[in-house]
Amino acid sequence: MSETRESLNFIEHIIEDDLAGDYVHDQLCFRFPPEPNGYLHIGHASSICLNFGLGLKYDAPVNLRFDDTNPTKEEQEFVDAIKKDVAWLGYEWANECYASDYFQQLYDWAVQLIKDGNAYVDSQSSEEIATQKGTPSEPGQASPYRDRSVEENLELFEQMKNGDTPEGQHVLRAKIDMASPNMLMRDPVMYRVLHKHHHRTGTDWKIFPMYDWTHGESDYIEQVSHSLCTLEFQPHRELYDWFLDQVHQPAKLRPKQREFARRNLSHTVVSKRKLARLVEEGIVNGWDDPRMPTISGLRRRGYTATAIRNFADSIGVGKRENLIDVSHLEFCAREDLNKTSPRVMTVLDPLKVVITNYPEGQEEFLISENNPEDASAGEREVPFSREIYIERADFREEANRKFFRLKLGHEVRLKNAYIIKAEKAIKDEDGNILEVHCTYDEDSKSGSGTEASLRKVKGTLHWVSASHALPVEVRLYDRLFSEAAPDADKDKDFLEFVNPNSLEVVTAFAEPSLKDAKAGDRFQFQRLGYFVVDPDSKPEKIVFNRTVGLRDTWAKLTS
């Protein structure tokens, strides 16, 4: 390994120590285990990049495992979306696995636990079971059914399996220790009865295994060496190990659960349950709404897979939870898009400029570089004519010396075109500016090499020729929540903090080269930011989403 030990993260340290101990390299195996009850979000991206990153680093298999043990919340739609997102992020899984494929094996092992006296059927309600759990400082009480005979347990468990008992009548519990200081060890439930249709097993199973019983055993079946999960599962590790003890055969590898800190992102929520509420209550238009922190939302917003991977890698893995500012994610997007996006000119809030000394009816095509960061991106022709649009905010009749844009009596350069001077503002009777009359310096064309073209003027504006302009819809997104941590206050509903102005739709004028842009194409609108073509686009109306502005406008507002 080329890196020094110091450059490794703590998970890699664990793996290196295991390799120096009793693990051999060929035993390494990882998994990413989503529950198909929603779409993946940016928090999952951390776990995906961690697990698949380890797979690449150690040349070890990584399984995509669907943890599909709860038929009430899971759907095929979510399985398909998860596969698409992991593949889009650029990762290949070794095996596509489903916990539901292990239902028979898990059942057989559960029967074994009953025979060994390590599991029993409890016929109390979930409320009764909860009241007997005790507190961390007080032991729990044993269920009156704890000492059922093996025969009775086997018979009842089989009835549960066959669908002969209604939901809620019995559960199967592991028989561990009702006085354990770890509440999870106080006879945890292993199975419950559910008469629900499962998206893969249909109505074959009437009993469904609980998370703790399923997860470690699935790791064991797949011979996963390092089962990495988030910190809230730390207290579950003891139970993970206890269940493994019941089934482990000495010749096989024994998986290890290790925990790392969840990654949270500011100004949003990263929990499928909460994201589902945004969808269900119509606050956003679906899981892939470009304001959502889902992988599919970020993709539709114009984020690249590279930007998301770089984000996950740069925040790394840690042992303590923290809130990552969304501006860091935006930074990663700009950094990648700057290298790859062709530059174009689009005016979002148009103000007409008439160049009075430019011949009427004349047009010319000015050569413009597609990407100054990438010579191979080539050049294009941008039409210029007597009437153009500039941004309304780029003109003022009067302004102080710090205003380097267009003001009466002063000059600016039009990007890749000429130097113009503002002569007169034409207004309606209410004083609103209708258009600006300018003159241009005919010798100042960019790149022409003339003395006038080399003249320095302070401001450069983007513009679009009015007669050639392509009207487009532009969706300007802002943060979905106005609070950095909308779900931090447990007494408040996070929906109270939804930013009411997270979407503004405008009709903009784009340069005509954009007429053939296709869904997913990304551009830098010069001086404005990065934009992507939305799948809602139609040939007669292209729709753009703003991915991110050119710089962090929120930083300015708060500093």
Binding residues: 35-37, 67, 211, 230, 270-272
Name the pairing type of β-strands 503-510 and 346-347: antiparallel
Segment lying near ligand ATP (by CB under 6 A), choices 120-128, 262-270, 454-462, 463-471: 262-270
Residue 421 is a catalytic residue: no
Task: Compute the distance between CA of residue 190 and CA of residue 350 in angstroms, rounded to an integer.
Answer: 64
Enumerate residues 346-405 that contact ligand ATP by CB under 6 A. Answer: none
Residues of the binding site for ATP = 35-37, 230, 270-272
Question: Which residue in 262, 257, 275, 258 sits closest to 312, CA to CA?
Answer: 262
Residue 203's region, left for phi above 0, alpha for psi from -120 to 50, else beta, is alpha
Residues of the binding site for L-glutamine = 67, 211
Comparing CB distances to ligand ATP, the nearer of 148 and 263 is 263
Task: Compute the distance between CA of residue 419 and CA of residue 456 in angstroms, rounded to an integer.
Answer: 10
Comparing CB distances to ligand ATP, the nearer of 198 and 462 is 198
Comparing CB distances to Mg ion, the nearer of 35 and 534 is 35
Reduced to 3 states (helix: H, G, I; strand: E, B; else coil), residue 116 is coil
Dihedral sign computed on CA atoms, order 99, 103, 105, 108: positive
Residue 33 CB, nearest distance to Mg ion (Å)? 10
Hey, what long-range contacts does 452-458 have (CB within 8 A, 24 or more apart)? 452/419, 455/419, 457/411, 457/412, 457/413, 457/419, 458/404, 458/412
Q: Which of 65, 148, 192, 262 is catalytic?
A: 262
Q: Which of 35, 85, 336, 394 forms a contact with ligand ATP (CB under 6 A)?
A: 35
Q: Which of 161, 175, 263, 272 is catalytic?
A: 272
Residue 379 is a catalytic residue: no
Residue whose CB is nearest to ligand ATP in the complex, by number? 43
Q: What is the four-CA torsion angle of 261, 554, 487, 308, rounded to 10 degrees?
A: -40
Segment lying near ligand ATP (by CB under 6 A), choices 42-50, 130-138, 386-394, 395-403: 42-50
Check residue 47 for interaction with ligand ATP (CB under 6 A).
yes
Q: Which of 105, 132, 201, 230 forms a contact with ligand ATP (CB under 6 A)?
A: 230
Check residue 237 for interaction with ligand ATP (CB under 6 A).
no
Among ligand ATP, Mg ion, none, what does residue 71 contact (CB within 5–8 Å per kind)? Answer: none
Comparing CB distances to ligand ATP, the nearer of 262 and 301 is 262
Task: Compute the distance between CA of residue 545 and CA of residue 530 in angstroms, rounded to an integer.
Answer: 9
Residue 181: DSSP 8-state: S
Task: Compute the distance between CA of residue 147 and CA of residue 119 in angstroms, rounded to an integer.
Answer: 10
Residue 263 CB, nearest distance to ligand ATP (Å)? 4
Check residue 236 for interaction with ligand ATP (CB under 6 A).
no
Segment lying near Mg ion (by CB under 5 A), choices 6-14, 30-38, 161-169, 459-467: 30-38
Question: Which residue in 442, 464, 446, 395 sits closest to 423, CA to CA?
Answer: 395
Q: Which of 12, 35, 217, 391 forms a contact with Mg ion (CB under 5 A)?
A: 35
Detail the DSSP E strand segments found in 370-513. Answer: 379-385, 387-391, 395-396, 406-407, 411-414, 419-427, 433-441, 460-461, 464-465, 470-477, 503-510
Contacts of 400 (CB under 8 A, 6+ apart): none
Comparing CB distances to ligand ATP, the nearer of 264 and 465 is 264
Segment lying near ligand ATP (by CB under 6 A), choices 159-167, 240-248, 270-278, 522-530: 270-278
Comparing CB distances to ligand ATP, the nearer of 65 and 475 is 65
Contacts of 298 (CB under 8 A, 6+ apart): 42, 290, 292, 308
Tracing tokens 């100004």 back to the chain, one arrives at 267
Residues 443/357, Cβ–Cβ less than 8 Å? no
Segment lying near Mg ion (by CB under 5 A), choices 28-36, 78-86, 514-522, 524-532: 28-36
Residue 78 CB, nearest distance to Mg ion (Å)? 12
Between the alpha carbon of residue 317 and those of residues 49, 189, 259, 285, the distances in Å are 10, 32, 10, 32
Residue 263 is a catalytic residue: no
Q: Which run of H or E residues covers position 330?
A: helix 326-340
Residue 43 CB, nearest distance to ligand ATP (Å)? 2
Q: Which of 12, 31, 35, 407 is catalytic?
A: 35
**Can you give the binding site for ligand ATP, defined by CB under 6 A?**
33-35, 43-44, 46-47, 67, 229-230, 262-264, 270-272
**Can you give the binding site for Mg ion, defined by CB under 5 A?**
35
Catalytic residues: 35, 262, 272
